[in-house]
Structure formats: structure tokens, C-alpha cells
Structure 1
Amino acid sequence: MDYSPDALRRRPDVEGPGLPASDAADRLILDESATARADAAAEIVVIGDGYGALTLGAAADGGRGIRVHQDALTGEQALAANADEFALGGTFASMPLTADLVRGAKVVLLRLPRSLDALRDIAGVIAASASPEVVVFAGGRVKHMTPAMNDVLREHFERVDVTHARQKSRVLIARGPHDGRDPEPRCEQHDGLIVCAYGGVFAGTSIDIGTRFLLAHLPAPDGAAGAVIDLACGTGVVAATLALRHPALRVYACDQSAAAVASARATAEANGVAERVEVSRDDMLRSRADGSAAFIALNPPFHVGSAVHEGVAPRLFADAARALRPGGELWTVWNSALQYRSALERLVGPTRQVARNAKFTVTVSTRR
């Protein structure tokens, strides 16, 4: 089957109308970088590819040995599935955001992150380890781009050029790397808890108000009855707090975001509970056995990329139900306007309201 970006799929991520697997920004990045990529000696790195449009577009043009970093595990899985569909498996390798990812790279295709801190982390590692001749093609949708992105790139590159907009997309082209550095977490203390975050993680070094509301009502979990889990853990605030409150407790924390997992590990380490908090990168709770958990805490995301989508949380509820033992509890905080209670009743079991304020609701659902 010949490669076509229009035939890309998002699975196992949420699919549906208004959720394309590629867009005009991907096409513009590939077009602007075509000459640079045609150099047979060019070593190509792709960062922030959603579902494979940049990686497979470069591979379809003859690129091989492409190194790829995607923050979302579902993005990696979709890229692999799409590569198999177009017989382009083996043309790339997925890697973490480290010096090895960009070492010696001549061309970097970058889908601009929304977070300036995330862009700063990416730009720093490219400038530190890529070839001095590296050219970075960083693109996105105009509505999600700001002049501050140019300023962040100029912190690590001598020259940043801006292309003309096309189909509401634009590319920033950066050359002349300097002052590179490897990403490090930023940390901040809140009422005795140290929160650490790499760029791009939800809430950064703060504690979002939904999580604060959930923490105010969480009981002491029975770790002897099964696993205690912080699902979609973000920076690991819930996991670290539970471990600090209950010194005998062991907590499993997971998130599909590589930056979130690194942040949660840093948070556990900073609070002295790393030996009792296991952090894994996981698509929901795929790696956990059925009926193995006694207690799950969840502050579910409700965005797919930049789009609000109501299909995200129910998938988490359903997988939490699978992982819970009968009688196990799912403690959830959610924006009251989203009205998740009926979905929790249907997917998990009997659900009661524990607390409610002007914006958020905390519920506990018992696995039937």
C-alpha cells in the first residue's frame, strides 16, 4: 500500500470526526524540509510527531534510520501501526528525549509543543548534542503559535527564520545551535510537598485545584488488599502524597506521557519516597492484571491534544474497572459540568458523591 498521510489512523488513541491523524502543519514541515532531507548524509530526527505523519512522510521520501521521540505512548503505538500498514516498519527507532536522540543530527523535524518550557527542553537538548550544521524545522498551527516561541528558540540558536503561512500553518527554521543543555526538572514546594516537572506536563510545578480537592478527601487505602494506583499521574502529586501520609504504603503511578513519568519519578525522589512509589509509562493500565487493584485515584484529562473530547475519561473509567478487584474503589475528581457520574455508574459500579464545590466533584465508585 502506497503511503498517504490522509490514510493515517490515530489508534489506539481516541478517533472520531474532527480528530485527524495529520494536518496542514505536518505537510508544511515536510515541504519546507524537503531539500535538507534530500541530502544523503542528513541524519533525521523527528520530535513531537502526533501519529506518524512526519516520520512516515520522511521515510516515504527515502529516509532511513530516523530517530523519533513522541511524548505520548499512544503516539508511538499509532506510529508503529501506521508504519506496518504502509510497509515502512524498520525505517525509524523510537527513543527518549536525551542526547542520544539528537546526537549528530543534521535535520530535525519538530511539531511545536504548546508549552514554552517543553520547547525550551527540546531546543536545549538539540543545541547540546546535534551537529553544528543542524537545521530545525519547527511547525504548528498558527492559532497555537506565539512570538514567544521564536524567543525560546533564539535562546539556543543563532538564527530563526519564519516561513509564510499556508493553510493556517507556519514553520520556524532554526540554525546555529549554542548554549545547549540536557533537560532538568523544575521543582517547587507546596505545603511540605515538593512538586517536580519537566516541560509540558499538566500544571507544571503547581498543584491544580482539582487535584487539591481530591487530596483533601482521599482516605487511607488498604495496600494489603491489592495495588494502590495513581492513574494518569501527571507529576505524581497524588502518589507522593499518599506515600508521605502512609509510610507503610506502596503506590503504583502511571501515565502515557514520557515527560509526566519523568516528572513523577523526580517528585517521588525529591520527597524521599522513591523506594515506595513505582512509576511506569503505560497506556491507561494495560500492564496491570485484571482484578489486581484495591484502590485507584484519578483526575482524568478531558483533552485530546488541543481538543476537548468527552471520550477520554470513559476509556480510563473502563480500564480502571477492569484492573480493580470486586469491591475495589475508584476515587475520581472531575469538573462538575462534565457530569461523569452516570458513566462511572455504568462502567465501574455504584458511585456516591463524596464532596462538591463550585467547580469540582469528588466521587467514589465501587467495583461491582
Structure 2
Amino acid sequence: MKTELILHDRTLTLSRFPKRANETLQAWDAGDEYLINHVEEMALPAGQNILILNDHFGALSCWFSAQHNVTMMSDSFISHKGTLRNLQRNKCPKIQFLNCLQEIPQQVDLVLMQLPKSNRLLTWQLSQLRNSLSENCSIIGVNKAKEIHTSTLNLFEKYLGETKTSLAWKKHRLVFSQANCHPITPVPAECEWQVDNEDIVLSNYANVYSGESLDLGARFMLEHIPVDEELRHIIDLGCGNGVLSIKAGQLNPQARITSIDESFMAVASAQKNLEKNLGPDRNIQVIANNCLDGMKDNSSYLILCNPPFHQNNTITDHIAWQMFCDAKDALNHNGKLLVVGNRHLEYPTKLSRLFGHQQVTIVAENNKFVIIEAIKNNDLNKKPNIK
């Protein structure tokens, strides 16, 4: 796998986070290269204040920190960690890190952005830029050309300002905009709704997965969360807005709840929702993290998991596998991992390799989803080497 980005007689060594053996994916894409080439042609004077939105693993932050004051804003804990590691690897100057719920800095000279996968997050970011930037500040976005639709440009025009696009290069296209639309269209920070047939009300920030309605996998999982008065600690891994945590807490009031997600907006939503639905006195902890990094082994009785199958715009299953491996470490002897996933992902086969065939059962299934239970047995061999 290529790890050296070479442009304009400079070389950066870049890796994805977390680092995997036999990595097959690059830490940057042609969109990063397109932005770098374009800005280099602009011949900016040194010391510009550059705001970089949604930098995947720090290629843009590393490149521009050499001569400019960089602020990197992202909703992804993994992107923050990956960017920091790459800055350190290349001995780059320090930059400022912000998540997407924090305020945009004052006196920004240039904004560079990788367009996010979620239109809700894009809309939120455009509205925040419009409210914070001067009209003479340029905003340059990039994405795969096939992902920049007329509707995408309409969002820029409505929530940010005058917008045009570049020619395509290596299947990517630049979007040029200014913060000058009138009138300014307000965008609410949260979307709130009641879960059908449940005593649960959810608030969702812009980048929460399925933030405008409950996704079908989570809805199916709600029907199969166990009730057990012996449960003392439940982990919701990839918690999103916290709906599974809330239901587990309602069914098991004696249990301590730990909710974990790599999205800062998901964590903020889950924190608010758990307190709202379970009450302020419940023993809950909500953490932004890369899977279960740093979690004590043999510390949980039940782990709930509704895994993602993409990272940024890349379809991948390695996050699910890390979740499963981390979950096995974190579970007590006879502790249970409960996973919901699309049927075609073949999670039962993979979990059988990890936990042992006799330890994995299908709890429920319908025409789209399957719920699998995997029980940890410390008497079995250690986990195999799974990619």
C-alpha cells in the first residue's frame, strides 16, 4: 500500500488510523491532491488562517500546516487521531483541532473541505460557515464528481452563497463558494422525534446516523435486548443517538451503561438522550473512542453492537471486525455480544471463527436483518488472526 504522498517536490508519509496489518486503503485520495494542487497554484502568502473541514486522515492538515495556521474541524474521533498521528509522523507544526459542535474560529482566510457523506452534516456546516465568515472568504470543497449532484450545489447556494464548480480531475471536482447568500436560512442544531411504540424521545445532531428516523436494524434490535437482573455493565458499541442504550437501561435498571461512538455529534446526542430518557441519576458514561480502545478486559456482561459498514466514503468491514475482537476482550466469561447486521454480511460465520462455532447462535432474523449472539468462553482457544 502506498504511504508516500509526493507533490511539488515534497513528500508526506501518511497512514490511516487505526493502523492495520496488510492495509489495503490509502490515507488520502485524489480529492486531497486536487485541493493541494489548486491552492498551490493560488500562491498564497505564508501565514494564512486556513480552516479544513472533514480532513479524513490529515493529508490536507499536514500539507498546509507547513506554511499556514491550520484549524482542522471534523466530527470523527478517528480522523482526529489519524491526523494527529500523521502530523507527528511528518514533524509538522501543531494545529488546532475542533469538532463540529464547536464554534468556527474568527478571521478565517480560506476554507477547504472534503464534502461529507451526510447531507444533514453538509447543510449544518454550510450554515455555520455562512454565519461565521466574511463574504470575501473563499470556500473550496471537493468530492468525487459522481457525488456532486445538482441538489448538492443547491445546498451550497441556499445555505452558503454563490457557487460554481471546476472541471473534473481524476474523477473529482472542486466546488467554489462564498458566504454571501441572502437571506440567511437558519438550520436547527438538532432534530427531535419520538420512537414509535417506545417510551423514548431522541434528539439528534446533524451527523448522527439515521438521525431523522430510526434505522431498521436498530428497530429490529430493540425487540431482542435481553432482560437479566444479573447484568451489571452493558456497553453499546457504535451507539449513535443512544437508542439501544436507552432501551437496555429501561429493561435493566440495575445496570451501568457505557455508550461509545467515534462521532462527536453521536456522543453528544447519546449523552443528552440517556439523561433525558433514563434520568440524571443513572450510572451512565458516554465516550468518543475508536471501538473499545483502552477498555478494561473482562469488564462487561453484555455488549450491543449495530456496526457501520463504511468509513467516511469508503465501504469497508474492518471496523466491524475490530468491534467484534475488542468486544471479545472486554466481555467477562460467559458475557454476551449481541450484533445486528444485514443478512448478506455473513456475520454469523465470522463470529463463529472468533468465538467458536458452538458459542454463536442466531437470535432472530427477518428478510433483511439477522441478530446474532456470541458468548465468550474463556476455556476456548484465543481468537484467531482475523484481518
TM-score between both structures, scaled by the size of structure 2 = 0.86
Offset, 1:255 = 0.4
Aligned residues: 364
1:156-212 deviations in Å (ceiling 9; x for gaps): 333112111111111111113453768611112122322222223221221111111
Does residue 185 of the first structure (1) align with residue 194 of the second (2)? no
* 1:302-341 map, 5 Å: 302-341=309-348
* 1:251-262 map, 5 Å: 251-262=257-268
Match of 1:57 in 2: 63
Offset, 1:247 = 3.9
Q: Which runs of 5+ in 2 are unaligned?
A: 378-387
Match of 1:357 in 2: 366
1:104-150 deviations in Å (ceiling 9; x for gaps): 21211110012211101111112222344321111111122222121
Q: Give the secondary structure class of the aligned counterpart of 1:172.
A: strand
* 1:1-368 map, 5 Å: 4=6, 7-12=13-18, 19-34=25-40, 38-40=44-46, 42-60=48-66, 62-63=67-68, 65-88=69-92, 90-98=93-101, 100-177=103-180, 179=184, 184-191=189-196, 192-222=199-229, 225-271=231-277, 273=279, 275-276=281-282, 277-349=284-356, 350-368=359-377
Q: Which runs of 5+ in 1 are unaligned?
A: none
Q: Give the Cα–Cα distance (whole angstroms) in 2 for the partners of residues 281 and 121 of structure 1.
A: 20
CA contact (8 A) 1:231 1:297 kept: yes
Offset, 1:12 = 0.6
CA contact (8 A) 1:195 1:206 kept: no
Q: Give the secondary structure class of the aligned counterpart of 2:307.
A: coil
Offset, 1:37 = 7.1
State the identity as a percent.
Answer: 26
CA contact (8 A) 1:110 1:137 kept: yes
Offset, 1:331 = 0.9
- Aligned amino acid, residue 120 of structure 2: D
Kindly indicate whether structure 1 or structure 2 has the higher relative contact order, using CA contacts under 8 Å at least 6 residues apart. Answer: 1
Q: Give the Cα–Cα distance (whole angstroms) in 2 for the partners of residues 234 and 15 of structure 1.
A: 28
CA 35–107 in structure 1, closer or farther in 2 if over 3 Å, else same? farther
Offset, 1:41 = 5.4
CA contact (8 A) 1:113 1:200 kept: no
CA contact (8 A) 1:8 1:82 kept: yes
TM-score between both structures, scaled by the size of structure 1 = 0.90
CA contact (8 A) 2:324 2:351 kept: yes
CA 272–329 in structure 1, closer or farther in 2 if over 3 Å, else same? closer
Q: Give the Cα–Cα distance (whole angstroms) in 2 for the partners of residues 332 and 2 of structure 1.
A: 37
- Computed over aligned residues only, the root mean square deviation of the Cα atoms, in angstroms, reads 2.5
CA 79–171 in structure 1, closer or farther in 2 if over 3 Å, else same? same
CA contact (8 A) 1:211 1:238 kept: yes
Offset, 1:219 = 1.0
